Structures are given as C-alpha cells and as structure tokens.
Amino acid sequence: MDFERQTPVTVQAFHYDLVDEDTAPKSDVRTGIQKLDVSQDDEHSEKNGSYYDVAVFYDVIPAPAEFRVSGTIHQVVQLKDYHGDGSDISSADWQLLSRPLVEYIETLTYEVTQVTFDQPVNLNFKANF
C-alpha cells in the first residue's frame, strides 16, 4: 500500500510511571485508524486516496517490571488509491503505517529511562497484528 504522510507524528500523550516490584509485565499495543472528512478542505482532494488518522494506543510494563509507559501517538496519512474504512488493511500494511509511531514510543522510553535509571531500556516492539 502506498501512502503519503500528511502530518508529522504527534505524541498526544506519553506517561511514564514507576511501578511496584510485584506488578506483572504487560504489553498492550493497539493500532487504530479513522477516516477523515476532508470534503470541506480546498487544499486536499480524495481523488487519489482518502485521508486517515493512524493511531497507536499503548500501555506497557516491560520485564523486569520497574516502570510503565502509556499513551497515544497519531499521524495523518493519505492512503493512495484507497477509500475503505481500514478494516481490510493487511498486516504488512499495518506494520508499514504504524512503525514510525511505534518507533516514537521506543525512542521516548529509551530517552526517559536513560535519565531516570542512568541506563536506557530498549523496548524493541514486535508487531502482533
């Protein structure tokens, strides 16, 4: 699937919290897509494909459980020659669309843990969709 990024990646929320040592690890990373209505926008045309808000919602406690990161990251893209609702996008295309957003989560976590623990934690997410 060919797409064009319309906005930079936007970090809507990034939360970092220390957790109790008896907290169980978890990796809840979900993606979402919402078709945007650009019919009133003179600058954008859907002739070559519709516009979508691609989002990653996450709540992660890596092992060993010392901290939790959670939040939401978005990016608006135009999917070339596609006008569907997103439900039929293949797993490979989802990985392509969401990877830049997931990299932000990894980078933010790496940087914050470098400061808080004086040793960075690299999450290295693997897609499960």
**Tokens for 101?**
């957003």
Whether the ω angle into residue 120 lies within 30 degrees of 0, i.e. cis, is no
Binned at pLDDT 50, 70 and 90, residue 1 comes out as: confident
Query: 89 to each of 31, 48, 95, how far by Cα in Å?
Result: 12, 17, 10
**DSSP label at 24?**
P
Q: For residue 27, give the nearest of 109, 117, 113, 85 by alpha carbon.
A: 109
**DSSP label at 121?**
-
Q: For residue 54, give the nearest of 16, 13, 8 by alpha carbon.
A: 8
**pTM of the entire structure?**
0.86
What domains, with CATH codes, occur in the chain?
1-115 (3.10.420.10)
Mean pLDDT computed over 93-122: 93
Mean pLDDT computed over 3-26: 94
**Rounded distance, CA 41 to CA 78, Å?**
14
Q: Is 109 helix (H, G, I), strand (E, B) or coil?
A: helix
The pLDDT tens digits of the residues spanning 35-81 come to 998 877 767 777 788 999 999 999 999 988 899 999 999 999 999 99
